[in-house]
């Protein structure tokens, strides 16, 4: 999907607008336990067009001077975005800092839409004409607090999206990527996989700005490993900066069927691990949790059990993901990884038969009758799978309001038990059908 970045000096209201534009989606994210809320990007949608929004104001750059920060943020936007929303503040008029940002954006070849925020009432609209002088055409008056003008702004943004060539993706090839904080062993694991016995590397398919793709075959299955870590290792200092690695990881995730989320057994799980794993989950990809550096753990009988309990407690939102314990260094259990990836990918694309699905749902209803609310009872009529990657089910009911979260969860578990969707999230929607 296209990427939109919001850029502007501090306090023009970037984060308020960001939250407005992604409002509903953000609240879905917040329902997932363990997923951190302070995001610098989110998925958004306007008129059936999906895009990814980056709030560059949320990119922390330590305690560097303001000007340096603004420059860095503008550079991220220029580098990553397809369209940039340049935001100013209608109450304060054009400031020197706005002009600084404008200068940076001028040099880019990216399409730019000028938004003037804090235009909370129609009388203030006359004040926005001075913003023409910034040189980005018509200023769009908006109000983050009142949610005004956002539709017109988004119309202009969406109009500027590049035409996408539909990428030819070979469905039989499994694309996967590795994510995890620095030093968890991503590069080491890429090397370990590619140097595994009977892995035949056919070619380095391409080096994009963000990743190196390598094609290989193992046991008759074709894979592409999307390696962002190797990129960083070769890169300039500018590109090794950690904040870019998140954006790089996001693009890699988008192109993946399966995402390996790495944890360092030696240092244990930290908050950052959860945040990174949350990106894979949110994208609806198949996920395998890899506990690397297993060679550093005292190998007693209950070590795996203890670690597993810990992982499950921290990553409740990934309860469907299998865990592989391995060492990129000693190669121990490396050979178990590709079969897990393959299985997760198969489950991610699996279609179940409608009649079997409905038998499973009816059995579930018999075990645990549908809930009622205010004397109205949920009636489940029938279910059907409407999509894969991830498997998505629609359950037709008399009234979707009666479908309680916990009951949906129960049905999900029954579907999982019956069809074995290990490694993939599944989605269930209740729809009205009388």
Is 276 a binding residue for ligand GDP by CB under 6 A? The answer is: no
Is 240 a binding residue for ligand GDP by CB under 6 A? The answer is: no
Q: Which of 45, 196, 239, 295 binds ligand GDP (CB under 6 A)?
A: 295
Is 293 a binding residue for ligand GDP by CB under 6 A? The answer is: yes
| Binding-residue pattern over the window 187 to 226 for ligand GDP, x denoting contact by CB under 6 A | xx--------------------------------------
Contacts of residue 242, Cβ cutoff 8 Å, sequence gap at least 6: 182
Is 84 a binding residue for ligand GDP by CB under 6 A? The answer is: no
CA dist 240 to 182, 236, 246, 382, 404, Å?
A: 10, 6, 11, 51, 46
Is 261 a binding residue for ligand GDP by CB under 6 A? The answer is: no
Is 228 a binding residue for ligand GDP by CB under 6 A? The answer is: no
Q: Are 251 and 210 in contact (CB under 8 A)?
A: yes
Residue 118 vs 251, nearer CB to ligand GDP: 251
CA 42 to chain centre: 8
Smallest distance from ligand GDP to CB 182, Å: 5
d(C-alpha 315, C-alpha 289), whole Å: 10
Smallest distance from ligand GDP to CB 180, Å: 6
Is 292 a binding residue for ligand GDP by CB under 6 A? The answer is: yes
Question: What are the tokens at 10?
Answer: 């501090």
- Window of 143-151, 180-188, 276-284, 341-349 that interacts with ligand GDP by CB under 6 A: 180-188
**Residues making up the chain, counted from first to last:** 434
Burial 154-185 (b: 16+ CB within 10 A, else e): bebbbeebeeeeeeeeeeeebbbbbbbbeebb
Is 186 a binding residue for ligand GDP by CB under 6 A? The answer is: yes
Smallest distance from ligand GDP to CB 260, Å: 11
- Window of 108-116, 175-183, 353-361, 375-383 that interacts with ligand GDP by CB under 6 A: 175-183
Q: Are 327 and 292 in contact (CB under 8 A)?
A: yes
Is 184 a binding residue for ligand GDP by CB under 6 A? The answer is: yes
Q: Report which DSSP code applies to 218.
A: E
Q: Which of 42, 74, 229, 263 binds ligand GDP (CB under 6 A)?
A: 229
User: In terms of C-beta density within 10 A (0-12 exposed, 13-18 middle, 19 or more buried), how is residue 237 classed?
Assistant: exposed
d(C-alpha 72, C-alpha 272), whole Å: 22
Q: Are 393 and 426 in contact (CB under 8 A)?
A: yes
Smallest distance from ligand GDP to CB 201, Å: 18
Residue 249 vs 328, nearer CB to ligand GDP: 328
Is 183 a binding residue for ligand GDP by CB under 6 A? The answer is: yes
Q: Are 136 and 219 in contact (CB under 8 A)?
A: no
Closest by Cα among 73, 156, 153, 149 to 118 = 149
Q: Which of 53, 115, 287, 328 binds ligand GDP (CB under 6 A)?
A: 328
Which residues are paired to 215 by β-bridges?
203, 224
- Window of 137-145, 199-207, 238-246, 290-298 that interacts with ligand GDP by CB under 6 A: 290-298
Smallest distance from ligand GDP to CB 358, Å: 45
Q: Which of residues 399-418 bind ligand GDP (CB under 6 A)?
A: none
Question: What are the tokens at 241?
Answer: 């900066």
Biggest CA-to-CA distance, the chain:
74
Is 296 a binding residue for ligand GDP by CB under 6 A? The answer is: yes
- Window of 106-114, 126-134, 179-187, 219-227 that interacts with ligand GDP by CB under 6 A: 179-187
Closest by Cα among 84, 81, 79 to 235 = 79
Is 329 a binding residue for ligand GDP by CB under 6 A? The answer is: yes
d(C-alpha 261, C-alpha 256), whole Å: 12
Residue 249 vs 318, nearer CB to ligand GDP: 249
Is 85 a binding residue for ligand GDP by CB under 6 A? The answer is: no
Site for ligand GDP, rule CB under 6 A = 180, 182-188, 229, 292-293, 295-296, 327-329
């Amino acid at each position: 999907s296209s990427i939109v970045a919001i850029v502007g000096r501090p306090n023009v209201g970037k984060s308020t607008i960001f939250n407005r534009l992604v409002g509903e989606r953000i609240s879905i994210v917040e329902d997932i336990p363990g997923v951190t809320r302070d995001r610098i990007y989110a998925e958004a949608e306007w008129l059936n067009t999906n895009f990814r929004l980056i709030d560059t104001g949320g990119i922390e750059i330590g305690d560097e001077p303001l000007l340096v920060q603004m420059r860095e943020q503008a550079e991220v936007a220029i580098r990553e975005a397809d369209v940039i929303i340049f935001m100013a503040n209608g109450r304060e008029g054009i400031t020197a800092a706005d002009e600084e940002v404008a200068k940076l954006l001028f040099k880019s070849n990216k399409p730019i839409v000028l938004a003037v925020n804090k235009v909370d009432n129609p009388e203030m609209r006359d004040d926005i004409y001075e913003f023409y002088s910034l040189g980005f055409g018509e200023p769009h008056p908006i109000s983050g607090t009142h949610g005004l003008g956002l539709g017109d702004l988004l119309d202009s943004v969406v109009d500027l999206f590049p035409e996408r060539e539909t990428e030819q993706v070979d469905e039989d090839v499994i694309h996967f990527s590795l994510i995890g904080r620095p030093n968890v062993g991503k590069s080491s694991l890429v090397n370990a996989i590619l140097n595994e016995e009977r892995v035949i590397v056919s070619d380095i398919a391409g080096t994009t700005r963000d990743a190196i793709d390598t094609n290989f075959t193992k046991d008759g299955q074709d894979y592409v490993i999307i390696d962002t870590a190797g990129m960083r290792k070769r890169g300039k200092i500018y590109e090794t900066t950690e904040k870019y690695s998140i954006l790089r990881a996001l693009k890699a995730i988008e192109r993946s069927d399966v995402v390996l989320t790495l944890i360092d057994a030696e240092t244990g799980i930290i908050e950052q691990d959860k945040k990174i794993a949350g990106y894979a989950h949110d994208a609806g990809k198949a996920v395998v949790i890899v506990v690397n550096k297993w060679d550093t753990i005292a190998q007693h009988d209950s070590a795996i059990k203890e670690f597993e309990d810990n992982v499950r407690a921290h990553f409740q939102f990934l309860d469907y993901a299998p865990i592989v314990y391995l060492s990129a260094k000693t190669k121990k259990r490396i050979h178990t990884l590709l079969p897990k990836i393959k299985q997760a990918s198969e489950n991610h694309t699996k279609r179940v038969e409608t009649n079997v699905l409905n038998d499973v749902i009816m059995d579930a209803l018999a075990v645990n009758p549908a809930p009622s609310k205010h004397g109205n009872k949920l009636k489940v009529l029938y279910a059907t799978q409407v999509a894969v990657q991830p498997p998505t089910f629609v359950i037709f009911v008399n009234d979707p309001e009666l479908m309680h979260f916990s009951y949906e969860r129960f049905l999900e578990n029954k579907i999982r038990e019956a069809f074995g969707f290990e490694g993939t999230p599944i989605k269930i929607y209740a729809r009205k059908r009388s």
